[in-house]
A and B are shown apart, each in its own frame.
Chain A
């Protein structure tokens, strides 16, 4: 039986008068891959930022491994890796310097073998001495995944990681994410892309207007069935 690694209870977030999350309850098992679909403004990014301790909820709570994130945010961050559409990298540092910088931020000792392993895994070891500003968008996103996995976090949060990628680069990234998933890592990803999201998911959620309106196991639903359901919640033609 799988245990809940992430527990979200009555989570609400408002920016001034604008209520972005309107009460989210969610339990995510260790080792699962959960994909959240939703239109722009649904609250997906806000939700992931709260899980990543980058934003504080207005009310409700988030527990990771049974620990309330507001009680020990520094400790919780060690468990998290985050990939967003912004790569969180420095263009004027080389690929290797970027990973060394993040390794020191995470207090990693003897990080060089891990840096080499990850750069080889994302196919950028031969470009390790090149400045990130010389990389293509697809290479930057692969670097972003290497950065997020550097400290080997058990939870990987991905906020629309395929934004701005051409189909070939997006396909390569999907393959990479499939490779790094598996039973040892819990993945929570947001995306607009139903087909690509379904490929990676064990479980599918649809978030609309700050509420989870759909929650089902991925093997119980096909793309052909999911699409009209999504269209109904989100509005015809909103899905890519």
Chain B
């Protein structure tokens, strides 16, 4: 178990280290997120009298679309540089490779969100941030990274990998995305934490389900 956790950690460390040097993934995700928020802001400014009603949609669409850029690179970068075999040769249960890569993708998306949220407060001129909202965003992002990473590994050996990832990912992510958006709307309309618990439970349930399925299937996904 100690070696398993060590492999998870060392893959996470390796991805973060490489990203700190190259900044390839983060730059594309952050630029996309900023542009998306700006475009939404200008688009809604003319038509929507109360911009707070569109914030939940803008937030989740921006997070998922920028996140998919990072998730797409997670395994493609290993495949393209030919290092995937090096990981698969490690004498450890292959799910450890999956969890290391998934956690790296999760960190990338969370860092983009840390830039995105203050930007949205400025652009939409409303402080909608709260601890429960951050928690629901974290749980939704976790589910997104879990499913996105397994589909990224699945798509990497296909010719249409850039197209296949969103096509596979979004239908599976629908329950988490819907619950996340509903919970965000609820918080912005002043619902209590008790009212929102059903959405927390739903997202938490799907996160657990996705983790279990990913753990059980990763070895088959990367198999030739």
Contact = CB atoms under 8 A, between A and B. Distances in A.
Same complex for A and B? Answer yes
A88 B224 contact: no
B131 interface: no
A131 B21 CA distance: 10
Given A101-B14, A105-B90, A88 B7 contact: no
A77 interface: yes
A116 B14 CA distance: 20
Interface in A65-81: 74-78, 80
A88 B84 CA distance: 7
A75 B3 CA distance: 13
A202 interface: no
A49 B82 contact: no
A107 B82 contact: no
Given A90-B14, A90-B18, A93-B14, A106 B91 contact: yes
Interface string A154-194: 00000000000000000000000000000000000000000
Contacts of A93: 14, 17-18
Given A84-B85, A88-B85, A106 B17 contact: no
A82 interface: yes
Report the contact-size class of chain A (Cβ under 8 Å from the partner): 20 to 34
Contacts of B18: 90, 92-93
Given A86-B85, A93-B17, A101 B224 contact: no
B90 to A, nearest CB: 4
A10 interface: no
A130 to B, nearest CB: 13
Contacts of B21: 92, 131
A78 B91 contact: yes
Contacts of B90: 77, 105-106
Nearest to B18: A92
Interface residues of B, number: 25
B87 interface: yes
B79 to A, nearest CB: 10
B122 to A, nearest CB: 33
B6 interface: yes
Contact of B86 (A56, A74, A91, A102): A102
Contacts of B22: 92
A17 to B, nearest CB: 16
B224 A107 contact: no
A55 B224 contact: yes
A199 interface: no
B92 A54 contact: no
Contacts of A77: 89-91
A119 B6 CA distance: 24
Given A56-B224, A107-B3, 4 more contacts: A54-B88, A56-B223, A91-B81, A102-B86
Interface of B: 3, 6-7, 10-11, 13-14, 17-18, 21-22, 81-83, 85-93, 223-224
18 contacts: A56-B223, A74-B92, A76-B91, A82-B85, A82-B89, A84-B82, A88-B82, A88-B89, A89-B83, A90-B83, A91-B81, A92-B21, A101-B13, A105-B7, A105-B87, A105-B92, A107-B3, A107-B91
